[in-house]
Every structure is written in structure tokens, then in C-alpha cells.
């Protein structure tokens, strides 16, 4: 049997606690359509919603010029990737048809690809033909909040394009995704989420997407009450152990409002920072956020602390 903690030297104890923060299975890179994203530093993904009705910044960047200005600001603040979405998942949001989604996304994606060529672009869509057009316009990543459940053509399109894919856990149809309609779990919500996500990843890889192009996301707030979101975050090490890069999207979400009592999503930045730093310690490497500057600084400092521990 091992020694009791009281018998360990302070050095031994701090080495052990530093190793709590290193995830052996974390891959070194994530392969995208035309490039490779290093994962040795937390990857900050800036959210660019070109929708009139996103839950926390709805409407502000629907105009392409405003969206471009916001994109430049996010990159100046330290975003490594931009995730551009044109369909809100907000409960009660009006569904957007593919033509409308393309019309909102493509002008912005084309301009971003030309003006910020060093920044990989992700498209947040559940529709195959929207993704195909976005990839043509320069996107490197497809981020599907349905976890490739809604459109059977999407995984094949991604396999053919060789793009990065984000497979997020969710349940139900588009209108229910970010609601509690399907938020019933047994004793171990995180294990249930992993089982379902495993199947979603299996389907994506079955369509021909290479494993090194896959990132996984437990889908914080999607068919999850606050307790479920906290449980899936706490269980991130088991997800990271699969060996795919792990993404979390905690930014300004309702569970943060419930923990902090902050009602206005735009004022949840400090709670978001807490969740992101905790997620980094538990194995996440990709962080989808509205407030890039806060995430960049907090995650870089947290990583520097963990790295100093690992060098000892
Ligand atoms: N959350 C939202 C939208 N897209 N994508 C991924 N991969 N993970 C998320 O958690 C996620 C997402 C909803 O938030 P928003 O309306 O503020 O964009």
C-alpha cells in the first residue's frame, strides 16, 4: 500500500497534484481541412453569431459589417479560431432554412477567409448543404450541435472535405436542443452523455471522418439542467481519456447564472472564466467563448501554472 499523505514530502505532494492537471491522452494537435492546430496551449474559439436572436448577443452582429468588425476584435483579443453561426439554438428561436442560413453565413465567411487568412474558421451548422457551401467559402471546421444526428448527409460531406469536426452531445430535435425536454438522466448523467456521444462519434467515423479530425464536446446546457452541466464538466477527465481534443462551450450559459445569481448573460464573464479554468484543469483544450480577452488571459495563466508544476 502507498504512504499516507502525512508521510509524503511537500515536493512529492506538489508533484502529484501537478500531475492531476496533465491528461496523458490529450493529443498534441487537431487536424483541420488545410492545417493543423497545435493543442499545447489552450485554444480559444471566439463566437461570431450572425443571427438576429442568439440567447446572449442576439442581433448585434447580424449585419455583415458589424460581424466583421467583431471578428477582427475577437482575433485582436487572442482568438485562435472563429466559430460562425447563423442559426440560434435559443429556446423558442425561429428555425432558419438552409437558403437563409447560407445567405447570412457566406458573405461573412468569404470576407473573413480573405481578411484573416491565418485564423481557422468553424461553421456552426446542422445542415449538410450549408456546411458544404461554408467549406467551399474557406471554413476549416464543422461544428454541429446536433452531434451529426439531424442531417445524415453532413458526416459524409465532412469526410469528403477532410475538415475538422466538432461532435457535440445533445438530444432531441432542433427546437428542443437547448431546452430541458430531454433532460432526464439516471444516477450518472456524465456516463449517459458519454455513451450517447460515443455513438455519435462512431457514426461520424463510420462515414469516413478520420479520428484525428474529431473533437468532442459534452454539450453544456443542451438537454442538461445546471446539475447535469456541472456533472459533465466534473467528469471531463473520462472524456479526455478517449484521446480526442475536448471542447467546452460554457460561455455565459444558464448554469453559470444559476451558480452565481447573475441574470444578464453578458455579465456572466467571471463565472465563465471559473468554468473554463476548471475545464482546462480537467482536460479540455478548446474553449468556445464570447469574451475572448478574459478567456485568453485566464487560460494562458492557468496553463503556465500547470506547466510549471509539470516541469518540477
Ligand atoms: N453552444 C451554443 C452554440 N454552439 N457549439 C458547441 N460545439 N458547443 C456549445 O456548447 C455550443 C455550440 C449556444 O451558445 P450561443 O447561442 O451563445 O452561441
Q: What is the CATH number of the domain that holds 220?
A: 3.20.20.20
Residue-level pLDDT at 233: 98
Residue-level pLDDT at 265: 96
Looking at the structure of the chain, the number of domains it has is 1
- Say if ligand 1 is within 6 A of residue 289 CB: no
Residue-level pLDDT at 178: 87
Residue-level pLDDT at 2: 47
Atom 13, ligand 1: residue with shortest CA distance: 89
Which pLDDT tens digit goes with each residue over 39-90? 999 999 999 999 875 545 555 556 788 899 999 999 999 999 999 999 888 8
- Only one residue has cell 501554472, namely 305
Give me ligand 1 centre to Cα 188, in Å: 23
Residue-level pLDDT at 1: 40
Angstrom distance (rounded) from CA 155 to CA 131: 10
- Say if ligand 1 is within 6 A of residue 245 CB: no
Angstrom distance (rounded) from CA 311 to CA 15: 9
- Say if ligand 1 is within 6 A of residue 30 CB: no
In a domain? residue 20: no
* Planar angle of CA 120, 32, 239, nearest 5 degrees: 105
- Say if ligand 1 is within 6 A of residue 250 CB: no
Give me ligand 1 centre to Cα 130, in Å: 17
In a domain? residue 119: yes
In a domain? residue 173: yes
Give me ligand 1 centre to Cα 2, in Å: 44
8 Å CB contact between 34 and 165:
no
In a domain? residue 141: yes
In a domain? residue 33: no
Residue-level pLDDT at 57: 53
Atom 5, ligand 1: residue with shortest CA distance: 145
In a domain? residue 270: yes
Residue-level pLDDT at 58: 52
In a domain? residue 240: yes
Give me ligand 1 centre to Cα 51, in Å: 13
Ranges of residues in the chain whose predicted pLDDT is under 70: 1-25, 53-62, 311-312
Residue-level pLDDT at 26: 76
In a domain? residue 6: no
- Say if ligand 1 is within 6 A of residue 255 CB: no
Full domain range(s) for residue 237: 38-311
Which of 46, 84, 89, 179 has most ligand 1 atoms within 8 Å of its beta carbon, as the pocket-test mutant? 89
Give me ligand 1 centre to Cα 249, in Å: 6
Atom 9, ligand 1: residue with shortest CA distance: 249
- Say if ligand 1 is within 6 A of residue 47 CB: yes
Give catalytic residues, as residue numbers: 253, 288
- Only one residue has cell 466534473, namely 234
- Say if ligand 1 is within 6 A of residue 272 CB: no
pTM beyond 0.85: the answer is yes
Amino acid at each position: 500500500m502507498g504512504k499516507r499523505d502525512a508521510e509524503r514530502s511537500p515536493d512529492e505532494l506538489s508533484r502529484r497534484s501537478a500531475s492531476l492537471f496533465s491528461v496523458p491522452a490529450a493529443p498534441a494537435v487537431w487536424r483541420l481541412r488545410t492545417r493543423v492546430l497545435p493543442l499545447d496551449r489552450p485554444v480559444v474559439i471566439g463566437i461570431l453569431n450572425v443571427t438576429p436572436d442568439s440567447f446572449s448577443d442576439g442581433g448585434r452582429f447580424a449585419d455583415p459589417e458589424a460581424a466583421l468588425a467583431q471578428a477582427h476584435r475577437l482575433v485582436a483579443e487572442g482568438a485562435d479560431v472563429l466559430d460562425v453561426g447563423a442559426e440560434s439554438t435559443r429556446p423558442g428561436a425561429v428555425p432558419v432554412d438552409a437558403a437563409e442560413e447560407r445567405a447570412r453565413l457566406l458573405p461573412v465567411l468569404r470576407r473573413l477567409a480573405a481578411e484573416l487568412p491565418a485564423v481557422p474558421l468553424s461553421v456552426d451548422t446542422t445542415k449538410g448543404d450549408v456546411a458544404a457551401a461554408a467549406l467551399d467559402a474557406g471554413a476549416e471546421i464543422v461544428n454541429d450541435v446536433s452531434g451529426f444526428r439531424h442531417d445524415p448527409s453532413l458526416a459524409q460531406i465532412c469526410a469528403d472535405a477532410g475538415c475538422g469536426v466538432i461532435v457535440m452531445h445533445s438530444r432531441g430535435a432542433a427546437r428542443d436542443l437547448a431546452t430541458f425536454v430531454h433532460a432526464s438522466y439516471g444516477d450518472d448523467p456524465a456516463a449517459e452523455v458519454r455513451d450517447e456521444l460515443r455513438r455519435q462519434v462512431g457514426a461520424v467515423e463510420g462515414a469516413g471522418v478520420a479520428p484525428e479530425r474529431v473533437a468532442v464536446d459534452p454539450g453544456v446546457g443542451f438537454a442538461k439542467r445546471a446539475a447535469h452541466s456541472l456533472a459533465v464538466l466534473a467528469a471531463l477527465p473520462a472524456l479526455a481519456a478517449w484521446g480526442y481534443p475536448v471542447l467546452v462551450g460554457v460561455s455565459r450559459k444558464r448554469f453559470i447564472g444559476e451558480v452565481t445569481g447573475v441574470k444578464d448573460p453578458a455579465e456572466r464573464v467571471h463565472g465563465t472564466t471559473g468554468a473554463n479554468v476548471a475545464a482546462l484543469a480537467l482536460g479540455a483544450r478548446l474553449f468556445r467563448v464570447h469574451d475572448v480577452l478574459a478567456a485568453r488571459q485566464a487560460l494562458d495563466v492557468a496553463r503556465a501554472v500547470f506547466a510549471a508544476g509539470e516541469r518540477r
